[in-house]
Each structure stands twice: as C-alpha cells, then as structure tokens.
Amino acid sequence: MTNAASRGNNLRQHARSPVELPITVSDAANRVEGHIEFNTQDLSVGGAFIRSDLLFEVGEELQLDFTMPDGQVVRARGKVVRVARDSGDDVIPGMGIQFVALTDADRDAIRALCTRGSHG
C-alpha cells in the first residue's frame, strides 16, 4: 500500500489543525497598496487555508502576517496553490496557501500550535 493510500488519499505533506487566527494578507510584489484581513480555517507548517470571498489567483505570491495565541507575530511569504469558489455545495470559499518562505522560529511556533490545537 502506498503512503498516500494509507493516508486515505490525503496528499498533504503536513498535518493540518483547525486553527482560527486573523491573518493580514498583502501582495508580495507590492503591486497593491494596502492590506486585507482574513481568518484561517486550518494551518500547518506547510501552509494554510484562508476563508474569503475575495480570492487571489493560483500562483500569486502573498505576504502573510498573523499573531499566534502566545503573541508571537509570524511573517511568511506564501503562494496561492488552490482556490475554492462558493458553488452553493457547502464549499467554503477561500484559498489554499503554501508557505514558500518561513523562518525556523515561525515554523516551530506553528508546529507547536498545531500539535496542541488552537486552545493551547
């Protein structure tokens, strides 16, 4: 049995945790002036799913800033890898973001949060 099959066809490399955090998103190339605040639906050291009706395009790089429950501010660069539009079929609209630049300290903080869950 392949590794993917043993995980129930879940091809994610990192375990995700249902963590809700406010996250500020801005265009990584600074083509857009301003910031937009969203909420995460789930989070892992590899990325996050951000709930939103406002969607960026697949492949677009974004700057992400969010504050962990312990107060640590995480700054990450991420790439949009999936977009889910509201189709009326209980699909939560939003974007799957893959982290492409994250410090070791921020990665460790995310890993610790995902291990213990959003309630500490």
- What does the radius of gyration of the chain's CA atoms come to, in whole angstroms? 14
- Residue 13 pLDDT greater than 80, yes or no: no
CA dist 86 and 51 (Å) reads 11
pLDDT of 107 above 90: yes
Give the span between the Cα atoms of 33 and 105, in whole angstroms: 28
What is the per-residue pLDDT across 46-103, written as a single tens digit (0 to 9) for each? Answer: 999 988 888 889 999 999 988 888 888 999 999 999 998 877 777 788 899 999 999 9
Is residue 19 pLDDT above 90, yes or no? Answer: no
Q: 18: closest CA among 55, 43, 52, 53?
A: 43
Say what the pLDDT of residue 34 is.
61
Q: Is pLDDT at 112 greater than 60 in this prediction?
A: yes
Chain center to CA of 60? 14
The third-level CATH classification (topology) of the domain covering 16-116 is Thrombin, subunit H (2.40.10)
From the CB of residue 34, how many other CB atoms can be counted at a distance below 10 Å? 6
pLDDT attached to residue 87: 73
Q: 12: which 2 tokens?
A: 């994610």
